[in-house]
Chain A
Amino acid sequence: MDITQYFTDYTLRTITLGTAVLGAICGMLGSFAVLRKQSLLGDAISHAALPGIAVAFLITGAKDSNVLLLGALVSGLIGVFWIRGITTKTHLKTDTALGLILSLFFGFGMLLLTYIQKQPNANQAGLDKYLFGQAATLVESDVLLMVIVTGISLLVMLLFWKEFKLLLFDKNYAMTLGFNTKFIDGLISFFIVLAIVIGLQTVGVVLMSAMLLAPAAAARQWTNSLSTMVILAAIFGAFSGVFGTAISASQNNLSTGPVIVLVAAIFVIVSFLFSPERGIIFKQIRLIKNRRDLQLKKTLYFMYDIVRDHDDISRPHAIRILNSFQGFTKKTLSKLEEKNWITIQGQNWSMTEDGFETAANLYNNNLPES
């Protein structure tokens, strides 16, 4: 498939647009989930949405995706409230509550789905697309719904930005300022559920949590500011959607959902490794640098110990006598010379005034850093 076809093919364009918008809204709202330490809430909710879809189908008998998603929204919200009830009213912990709701709701949903399949009704096929998602079934109206939901949640987020931020980082302070924390809390949870429900059709119940988490976790590595993180997460999410769709379209037998998730996972891995502040590689480099610096100063101090007893500090000493001290190499010596702490003549070294001063104050923390 060549590039021009990518932009002209109607179906593909719709799907790409849909996954991009979905990635953006998930990244945006996922940032809040990650920062609130509710990463796995998304997983629980997406599973908990399944019985809602089945019940909505049983009641209406229609396969209109909007009605089914409404059912998913309701049962997702019931799941959230039950999780909250379990964690606040009993001594069971959050992880147990999430696992309970996740598996129990999903099992009940499966029971309903198999029950529906036995019904004499030709309309029931296709419900299982919500399990693993089928981006290929996206049509223009679905994408329109996604755009509208994204617009609304963006609006609400901007409107309540200050409150969300405050609640995120200092709940008690928000409470003392008189904000209705329960309401704001519920609002955030509601929009997270909404994002999940919107995504069910595209990536499915099982992989939805990764859509929510991965862009946000990747964005977190690059910044410490909430607004930057939200924007970055939205961008990462959108790109995961676009790239994932493109890759899965380029080959046969590649389902879109898993590919999008893997693309998002690559974003995460790259961020973990290469982010300048928190990334593993740069952290390691900084560690090694610090270790070298320490080694260098240790050598200098050892020299200082030798020099200290002499009247003339710049009296040359043989490099040989450093042999009893293991922490030096030719390189450290030349580095010390570079810093103008010692001078080297042939096989001898001698300490400079500057080096003596530095070494004498090495363990004196009261001096300002040089």
Chain B
Amino acid sequence: MSPMIDIQLIAAVTAAACAIPGVFLVLRKMALISDAISHSILPGIVIGFFITHDLASPWLIIFAAFSGIITVVLVELIQKTGLVKEDTAIGLVFPALFSIGVILIAQNANDVHLDVDAVLLGDLVYAPFDRLIIDNADFGPKGLWTISVILVITLVLLFAFYKELKISTFDVGLSSALGFSPVILHYGLMSVASVTTVAAFDAVGAILVVAMMITPAAAAYLLTTDLRKMLILSVLFGVGSAIGGYWFARWLDASISGSITTVLGLLFLLIYLFAPSKGLIAVLFRQSRQRIEVSLLTFLLHLNNHDSENERRVAHLQEHINWRKVKANSVLQLAEKNNMITIDNQIVSLTDKGLEFTEKALDYIITNKDEKIEDMKDDFFLFRG
């Protein structure tokens, strides 16, 4: 296999392996733990290297994953004292651990072939040249094997504990009532995230790991609220961006991990703007429509309250509700189009339909019960369609 395909394979498998724990991190509001872990594995790697003197040793992964779990434990310990909030606890722990790692490297710079830059940024370009050779037979790049094994383990765990994970993510109370220990699931998830981070950072660097975990999951979360679909979508997004990012990097002749992140970022930006019901444009559109609907309601209630013709003149209304001319006109037109009002000689009056609507609205305002407004929505807001 050529290095080109190898790199794409490693990137794609890494993306898939990161996306799965990422979904749960995003749903459990622990996205920043991945950032903390990705930084604080550094001292684990350095110490592991001092002991084994081999950068490719599997012990390194175990040490690093262990220091990732220590981060989680430390954060929780600090949080439990109640002295600071959770986010502050995260922000205190990982820079301290990272600093220790940086100092350890600097102190032993002469005999360590370990570079902080490489840890943060990874070196996907060289990954295909570190090959797994058993009995002189070439089995492909080592990095690919490591991350594939982790992906398989993650998938097995996901299928085995899907139900438990799902319940404990959305309803901690229920899951502990049913007898699933939230603590075990929590640390299980953290261990998987930690191991994945370590394996992935070797290939793509610490920061990209964070991007690969959070971005596909966040983008998928904007498109669906079904956990199964969200998992599938985020894996697709991750793999797609990994391969797209590789070609982007070739074209620009720049860092592969950087360009994968950039592609992920563009993907997220697109979905953030255009997601059907949760994207920015959809939300802004909905908000402006709701604003008009509320204005219309205010207007109708106002009409209902005033019987005298003098109060119901168009010009007077504008002054009375304190709307600008344009807005007042658009609301008037809207109401007329929906047969809520008739305008006769510059005097506005409610139609039967408008009266009924207003009364229902009043009913809702007084009782404040949601079922009242439910059929109102269907009955009257015709201009939506």
B156 at the interface (CB under 8 A from A): no
Q: Are A253 and B207 in contact (CB under 8 A)?
A: no
Are A110 and B103 in contact, CB atoms less than 8 angstroms apart? Answer: no
Say which residue of B30, B103, B116, B121 sits within 8 Å of A259 (CB atoms).
B103
- Chain A's interface size range is 35 or more
A86 within 8 A of B: yes
Decide if A245 is an interface residue (CB 8 Å cutoff). Answer: no
Known A-B contacts A103-B208, A111-B259, A262-B100; A217 and B221 likewise in contact (beta carbons under 8 Å): no
B32 touches A98 (CB 8 A): yes
What chain A residues lie within 8 Å of B272 (beta carbons)?
86, 90
Against B, the Cβ 8 Å flags (1 = close, 0 = not) of A96-107 are: 101110111111
Main secondary structure of the interface of A (DSSP, over half): helix
Residues of B in contact with A, size category: 35 or more
Using a Cβ cutoff of 8 Å, how many contacts connect chains A and B? 196
Check if B106 is an interface residue, CB within 8 A of chain A.
Answer: yes
Identify which of B59-67, B132-140, B248-256, B342-350 touches chain A: B248-256
> Would A95 and B280 be within 8 Å (CB), given that A103-B211, A206-B120 are in contact?
no
| Chain B stretch 84-122: residues in CB contact (< 8 A) with chain A | 84-85, 87-88, 90-92, 95-96, 98-100, 102-103, 106-107, 109, 116-117, 120-121
B265 engages A107 (CB within 8 Å): yes
Q: In the docked arrangement, what's the CA distance between A112 and B9, Å?
A: 24
Which A residues lie within 8 Å of B81 (CB)? 272, 280
Contact present for A255 and B29 (CB under 8 Å):
no
Does A150 sit at the interface, judged by CB under 8 A?
A: no
- On whether the beta carbons of A107 and B116 are closer than 8 Å, the reply is no
Q: Kindly specify which of A35-43, A139-147, A152-160, A285-293 makes contact with the partner chain.
A: A35-43
Q: Which residues of B contact A213 (CB under 8 A)?
A: 88, 91-92
Cβ contact of A258, chosen from B35, B99, B218, B283, cutoff 8 A: B99
Residues of A within 8 A of B87 (CB): 37-40, 95
Q: Are A210 and B95 in contact (CB under 8 A)?
A: yes
B31 engages A209 (CB within 8 Å): no
Evaluate whether A99 and B210 lie within 8 angstroms (CB atoms) in the complex, with A128-B117, A131-B120, A206-B39 already known: yes
| Nearest chain A CB to B181 CB, angstrom units | 24
In the complex, the answer to whether B32 meets A217 with C-beta atoms within 8 Å is no
Q: Which residues of B contact A85 (CB under 8 A)?
A: 280
Report A-chain residues with C-beta under 8 Å of the C-beta of B69: none
Is there contact, CB below 8 Å, between B268 and A104? yes
B34 at the interface (CB under 8 A from A): yes
> Known contacts A40-B90, A210-B92; is A114 also within 8 Å of B258 by CB?
yes
Residues of chain B contacted by A280 (CB below 8 angstroms)? 81, 83
Residue in chain A with minimal CB distance to B253: A118
Residues of B within 8 A of A194 (CB): none
8 A-B pairs besides A103-B211, A104-B264, A213-B92 with CB distance below 8 A are: A39-B88, A99-B34, A103-B214, A104-B262, A107-B262, A111-B249, A255-B102, A255-B103
A: residues with CB less than 8 A from B are: 34, 37-40, 42-43, 47, 85-86, 89-93, 95-96, 98-100, 102-115, 118, 128, 131-132, 206-207, 209-210, 213-214, 217, 220-221, 253-255, 257-259, 261-262, 265, 268, 272, 278, 280
Interchain residue pairs with CB less than 8 A apart (20): A37-B85, A39-B87, A43-B91, A90-B272, A92-B26, A92-B222, A93-B31, A96-B26, A99-B213, A104-B268, A110-B121, A111-B259, A115-B252, A221-B83, A258-B98, A259-B103, A262-B100, A262-B103, A265-B92, A268-B92
